[in-house]
Structure 1
């Protein structure tokens, strides 16, 4: 069969005039609607208005124009079905061999600040998806194009054979159903948000591919990187890579962890991450001071790690970063001098995120975890510590300095794999115990890493102490204050040990398990 008749109706008109001109040059009759019809006519492309086909005017501000048997019969008729052929002839209907449609810009509409509900609803396309689905269903005979990137392939095959191949039509049909599914999913998500439906009976999600990855967590695993259509600004999915080789699966995971941690802090902060756990976190009066503390937290583990800052990287800080091997440096911005210094290393990746939202301005969202045959969904852990929600369980009250260090430790420990213990001193982590099967084991690791720095440090625990053994270890190491959720039936045992050693212990009433 040959492509003799096309219907074109596009919101995004990129490349459409050139495509239509090439179709016309091949003798294809073109039908069009609304603004597309006007544009093609202005550009001298021979075009027929949709009303000439349907015998019915476009009505209701263009809401009803293609929803007509003269259109959908031409799309859905099975060309080798004699009954369908007879009906088409009897009703004087013509086949449509090619459909080129893209949809009302719903996503771009709801991305606009302050968009009204009415405007959003008005940008839900009805006729477009209907034509796409009709054509895609009948792809044995009809070619359907939803993506301008496919125009050249269709023209190439049309010029060579007068039609597209069945393999191409199948591929284009699959893309159509992906496209309409994503479109409907975005509308469903928007309406769910409008009516406060948080966990619907059916969860439909859509993501856009950013890039294919060389491999996943290990070389034998395939992988790709996707982003949500309404991606959060200041996040990894919207970051600009300024230098370095392509990101890997593990790079992306670690970089996301680093950004999540550094966004906990109002003042200048720097985080170093290895295997999704912080190996060093520092805060200070400047990004330079914060980085020095993050580095000194664990000079061994930071090697080959990922560093994230919540302030622009200047030349002085870049000079320090340049001294060691790092996989990635992430920051809201880099000075030109900093880029010159860091880009001397060929492979280091530099990621510019733009503005990093303040802790209380972070966007709520879902954390998705796959399980065999299913998906776990929960809110992101955006809990922020409020001083008036704290309770002191011990005889000794923490000093103001201890409270500040405890708050810092609490912001870090929520991002460490459970069971987690973090030791903090002078605005930097000095010991991190991550991912242990028991809490006292995590404490031993953190204390051993801190060494002499444990004396005078404070300790943060992501969950309660089931018994007093962790407090005994803390006391022996010289730790002066502890922050933990509380809530164990044996809290009094830990309180007793803390009192015996003069340790101040603060309870938050909130835990931060991270698996």
Structure 2
């Protein structure tokens, strides 16, 4: 049953006389405490926070002094007390509330400065089960939510980044906080506890292997407000959720202008693709445009791989994203900057390479410190009208699959290497996906078509375009292999690949018409391998 409101109007300005400070992150704490003390605000604090303030020579009361009850159970119980929550929740203009405060000796708390146990950091750092559980804050979120609910009278500050704004506001309003300011802080506070609880519930689902929890929550912290979204009339922001998977969200930007919404989306796609290639085995480069690869290659060096990837579709590479699986060196950097590029992302960059890139002031250079693990799990979400679609990450890797030769002719060793390469790439191409590859480089890519045969034809056309751009006479697709992200429902897609010059095919299989497709391959002397795994990417 809903609780009825007494409709007592909130005051605009509330004089700050007492502040409760209880923080895990102590950055900026002493400066804030000193400013509040100078403004005549009485400070009440807990545990380590109180100790830090006192050691700085600032007057502070321990919370046990006002509750009359000591901290117990290793600090698990310290602020869960009526004196604290009464001081946060009391409606000061309600006669009954004032009477209760006077009867029970409850003093009003006008400012609450609270941040929470570092659950996200401990989880991301690989803490064990017991350590992670111990870092689930209880009293902190309870005080944050109580203060935010009673924002009519209480200013709740959960982010050290807001300390300066608090002290400036107090200075401008003769030691008081305005209602609008308290409202904005309350909104931020509830978002913080929501993200915190989302992280906790998500961890439990992962730790207990609960595939579809009844309630699913997602949360994040604003990293950047973007100029716009996919298009100029759309608003956008970039939020990070604490996941330490190497990528655009965790990267350090060495130079260049701010990333756009599309830059972030495309850079993520590029780095996830290049993460499929073990840096200890080979150098690999992926060039991405609109979240689709327009060229991918392996090579002895990054320069070699980049030039092979670029040759696949030099026109589409203009204004693209370049992802590398190794430290960006000067030799590769010199080649990449010859073509207009939006973003370069790599595990690291040499000082010489960074200097070369710096000559292009708008070119963003991101370093991640590592590669994403293509075998790692995790959840992915996509919004739809009225809800979210949530699924596990596609962490199937071709090296782990049981490849089955289904044709009379088996692939040669060289064809098999190219087939594995092509299937790695097809996993990251929008469906329907067709990838032609030769000598560990893409030579034609067909993406995002409603018909698989159309993707086959587009990929073949791209191979012809690349042939012409390279000044060659014979299509690059001649003698190539082809990968399909899903089965061929009819032989027509296969026949289009044969017509383009492909000699071997890798596909999941599983169609009711597999026998007819295999028969067509045998009739044309094509080797075909089934993976048993599909890689749709919408």
> What TM-score does the superposition give when structure 1 sets the normalisation length?
0.96
**1:381: which partner in 2?**
394
Q: Secondary structure at the match of 1:482?
A: strand
Mean Cα deviation higher: 152-161 or 415-424: 152-161
Q: Secondary structure at the match of 2:230?
A: coil
- Per-residue deviation at 1:481? 0.7
1:483 matched to 2:492? The reply is: no
1:335 matched to 2:330? The reply is: no
* Cα separation, 1, equivalents of 2:106 and 2:407: 86
* Cα separation, 1, equivalents of 2:333 and 2:399: 34
1:421 matched to 2:416? The reply is: no
Alpha carbons 2:491, 2:517 under 8 Å: kept: yes
**Which string of whole-angstrom CA distances, capped at 9 and with x for unpartnered residues, describes residues 107-131 of structure 1?**
2222333x23222222222222222
Mean Cα deviation higher: 480-489 or 143-152: 143-152
- Per-residue deviation at 1:358? 5.4
**2:334: which partner in 1?**
319
- Per-residue deviation at 1:259? 0.8
1:409 matched to 2:432? The reply is: no
- Per-residue deviation at 1:442? 1.0
The 1:70–1:322 alpha-carbon spacing in structure 2 relative to 1, beyond 3 Å, is closer
Instruction: Select the residue among 305, 320, 325 that pairs with 1:310.
Output: 325
Alpha carbons 2:121, 2:242 under 8 Å: kept: no
1:106 matched to 2:119? The reply is: yes
> What TM-score does the superposition give when structure 2 sets the normalisation length?
0.92
* Cα separation, 2, equivalents of 1:35 and 1:387: 50
Q: Secondary structure at the match of 1:453?
A: coil
1:77 matched to 2:100? The reply is: no
Alpha carbons 1:434, 1:442 under 8 Å: kept: yes
Task: Map 1:234-249; keep pairs closer than 5 Å.
Answer: 234-249=246-261
**1:229: which partner in 2?**
242
**1:501: which partner in 2?**
524
- Per-residue deviation at 1:79? 0.8
Give the paired residue count.
511
The 1:473–1:90 alpha-carbon spacing in structure 2 relative to 1, beyond 3 Å, is closer
- Per-residue deviation at 1:357? 4.3
**Which string of whole-angstrom CA distances, capped at 9 and with x for unpartnered residues, describes residues 426-480 of structure 1?**
1111111111111111111111222311211111111111111222222233221
**1:191: which partner in 2?**
204
* Cα separation, 2, equivalents of 1:106 and 1:367: 21
**1:126: which partner in 2?**
138
- Per-residue deviation at 1:312? 1.5
The 1:15–1:394 alpha-carbon spacing in structure 2 relative to 1, beyond 3 Å, is same
* Cα separation, 1, equivalents of 2:236 and 2:446: 30
Q: Secondary structure at the match of 2:15?
A: coil
**2:305: which partner in 1?**
290
Instruction: Select the residue among 134, 147, 150 that pairs with 1:135.
Output: 147
* Cα separation, 1, equivalents of 2:365 and 2:198: 34
Alpha carbons 2:124, 2:242 under 8 Å: kept: no
Alpha carbons 1:206, 1:229 under 8 Å: kept: no
- Per-residue deviation at 1:388? 6.5
**2:232: which partner in 1?**
219
- Per-residue deviation at 1:240? 1.2
